[in-house]
Amino acid sequence: MKRFIGVLSVALIIGVIAGPTAAMAGGNGAIATPFVASYTNTYYVTTHLECSGAHVALQKANNTFFKDDESCLITGDTSGFVAGTYTSDPGSYFGNVPPYGNHAFAWASDFPGENGAWATSWTVTISLNPDGSVNFNIDAYYAA
């Protein structure tokens, strides 16, 4: 739900397409809203991302925070991507995700209504496909 904009400045989620606005409530009170996004990233390398996921509002004690659970198919110049799992640096928006370099990657929400909010923490899992495309899965958390 949140996109990796960070210093990737993914053209701040160009072409975000709001998916169905149907919300789903979980047994724990979480409310998930599905979404889709499509955009071209021109920071460092030129790639195209087709993404879908769920934006989840979570309640913990008296605090509300948000989580994006999103999967993207990346095409274009994917030569620098390295399979693996990457996390944000503690206390920082940034982290290391190849090919973007050390402490040069951050994620911002591409969920409509979040206005590019920066993730306070994130985990990215990258897998490489035989056709050269990349599967990019992210769990990102945001403060309310």
Instruction: Give the tens place of pLDDT for each residue, 34-49.
Output: 989 898 988 778 999 9
The pLDDT value given to residue 26: 54
Lowest mean pLDDT among 30-39, 69-78, 113-122: 113-122
- Residue 73 in this model has a pLDDT that exceeds 90: yes
Higher pLDDT, 7 or 93: 93
Rounded Cα distance, 97 and 35, in Å: 24
- Classified as helix, coil or strand, 12 is coil
Where do we find the tokens 């047994």?
27
The pLDDT value given to residue 52: 94
Q: How many CB atoms lie within 10 A of CB 15?
A: 12
Cβ 2 vs Cβ 70: under 8 Å? yes
Mean pLDDT of the chain: 77
pTM over 0.85: no
Rounded Cα distance, 51 and 136, in Å: 9
The pLDDT value given to residue 112: 65
